[in-house]
């Protein structure tokens, strides 16, 4: 049974509803939850990134509000940026690991070259100050 215009409008205090666009649409019997799914068909990049997808249900609430025990947000201070990248690198989370293509390889090699140049510069500075 199609929804009437009254069914598509938000009531005061309800989550906002979008006006339904298809005349044959029937309202589900229960609210549809937001779920995370793992894809059946994948490629190398999706495997490297351990891809999952979110299929949004009826709620307009953020994921943090819908699932407070499952989703956490961490905000790291800016001064921990370099240490955080080193930690990820030591634990195998690298640019090429996340993006296993030519661009990811280039990014990782650029980073390794920068690190080596910085190490050489620091060694030369130490020699000068000794």
The residue ranges of every structural domain in the chain are 1-72, 78-128
Q: 33: Cβ–Cβ under 8 A, 6 or more apart, which residues? A: 57, 59
Q: What angle do CA 39, 108, 76 make, to 5 degrees?
A: 75
pLDDT tens, 85-101? 889 988 888 888 888 88
- Global pTM exceeds 0.75: no
Query: How far is C-alpha 98 from the chain's CA centre?
Result: 12
- Supply the pLDDT for residue 1: 47
- Supply the pLDDT for residue 78: 95
pLDDT tens, 39-68? 888 888 888 778 888 888 877 788 888 888
Q: Are 15 and 60 in contact (CB under 8 A)?
A: yes
Cα-Cα-Cα-Cα dihedral sign, residues 11, 13, 14, 20: positive
Secondary structure in 3-state letters for 9-57: CCCCCCCCCCCCCCCCCCCCCCCCCCEEECCCCCCHHHHHCCCCEEECC
């Amino acid at each position: 049974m199609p929804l009437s215009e009254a069914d598509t409008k938000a009531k005061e205090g309800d989550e906002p509803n979008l006006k339904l666009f298809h005349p044959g649409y029937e309202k589900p019997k229960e609210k549809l939850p937001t779920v995370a799914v793992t894809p059946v068909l994948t490629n190398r990049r999706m495997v490297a990134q351990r891809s999952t997808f979110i299929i949004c249900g009826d709620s307009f609430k953020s994921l943090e509000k819908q699932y407070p025990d499952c989703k956490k947000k961490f905000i790291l201070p800016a001064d921990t940026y370099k240490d955080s990248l080193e930690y990820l690198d030591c634990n195998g989370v690298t640019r090429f690991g996340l993006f296993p293509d030519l661009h990811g390889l280039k990014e990782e090699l650029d980073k390794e070259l920068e690190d080596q140049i910085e190490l050489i510069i620091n060694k030369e500075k130490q020699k000068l100050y000794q």
